[in-house]
Amino acid sequence: MRRPILAVAAMFLLNGALFGLWASRIPAFVEAFALSPGALGRILLCLATGAILSFPLAGRLSDRIGAAIATRIIAVLYALALPLLALAPSPLALGALLILFGAGHGAMDVTMNAWGAEVERAHGHTLMPAFHAMWSLGAGLGALSGYGAVALGLGVVTHFALGATLFGAAGLALALTPWASDRTPAGAGFALPPRVLIAVGLVAMCSSVGEGAMADWSAVFLVEVARSTEAQAALGYGFYSVVMMAARLGAGRVINRLGPVRAARIAGLTAATGLIVALSGANLTAGLIGFALVGLGYSVVVPLAFSRAANDPHVPPGRAIAGVATLGYGGMVLGPVAIGALAQATSLPTSFGFIAVLALGISLLAPSLKPA
């Protein structure tokens, strides 16, 4: 079972790395096109649109040809889409290309989680938090590469091309391992959570809105609010992602000791505290410490939500996970758009305060994660 586990882990890492590469250079696009917070939010809506449209298509493809094969195919297309972003000559072109990039990100997210669930069932032990840790590691590495690229004076085109090639080749090399995926008849496209799992889906959404905001707005926050340089700002998402990755590696032991409800309550409070620290300090040090606490808090929330959904006694696992994922991933891709709109109407610190309120919502909704 070691090779299939490594294969799935490599796909999670690749997905995170490509997303982290993009997130680390958002300030460069803001500067190149003189984007206001509202304009950036509208452009990010294109990424969200691509991701949401890809969910049902990816699910059908996974059902038809198997999650493993679907993940490999989509990974190639996703990696190829990244360098195209750097070639965009205008905000309109960037938005169009972000639809493709978002589709690759969303589709791969669906299929690699399906593959991960198959490997987890075959292995007989909890693996999903560790797989999600690999996503966080990849996102952190991708974001940290942005710091190195800016420090070395590499343009966005060169940075994205090198990153996609290196991460893509390494990930796909590990993913080419034999695996017979489950194949089932294609179901309905979108799947909202059944009534019994609505609260679980809202927990995932509260966390995912914050995760999406960290990816797309953390660097902008550090530049505009903390007055950091572009190179320093790239560290924000890197700190957040690395801490999240490390926490997810030990999440199983923490959850076993505290129980899912108590763990989620503490997680929500930790994330909210981190956002308050970043807002109160309004400098690079406070921002990095705060974002690290946010990563620590969010680290267990989505794995807890998926675990609760998969083990619901009243709803089949596939339908339950698909429903919770719809709200969760919807929050991740639509959250940054809402943050941009709120920042345009008020201010960027106000929008980050809204994320803190949602983090407290995780604590309030934590009882929904109690095993049925």
User: What are the pLDDT digits (tens) for 178-213?
Assistant: 888 767 655 544 556 667 789 999 999 999 999 988
pLDDT of residue 318: 58
pLDDT of residue 185: 59
Domain count, the chain: 1
Q: Which domain holds residue 293?
A: 2-175+191-369
- Whether 104 is covered by a domain: the verdict is yes
Query: Would residue 180 count as lying in a domain?
Result: no
Would you give the distance in Å from CA 7 to the centre of its chain? 19
Residue 102 domain-assigned (yes or no): yes
- Residue-level pLDDT at 339: 87
d(CA 174, CA 311): 30
For residue 61, is it within any domain? yes
Is 184 within a domain?
no
pLDDT at 117 (0 to 100): 77
321 contacts: CB under 8 Å, gap ≥ 6: 113, 117, 306, 309, 310
Segments of the chain scoring below 50 in pLDDT: 188-189
Give SS3 for 345. helix
Q: Is 124 left (phi over 0), alpha (psi -120 to 50) or beta?
A: left
CATH number at residue 257: 1.20.1250.20
pLDDT in tens, 65-97: 888 999 999 999 999 999 999 999 999 999 999
pLDDT at residue 76 in the model: 97
DSSP code per residue over 277-319: HHHHH-SHHHHHHHHHHHHHHHTTHHHHHHHHHHT-SSS-HHH
Whole-number pLDDT of residue 158? 95
Asked, for residue 355, whether it belongs to a domain, the answer is yes
Tell me, what's the pLDDT at 253?
79
Residue 22 lies in a domain: yes
Helix (H) or strand (E) holding 61: helix 37-65
**Model pTM above 0.85:** no
Is 224 part of any domain? yes
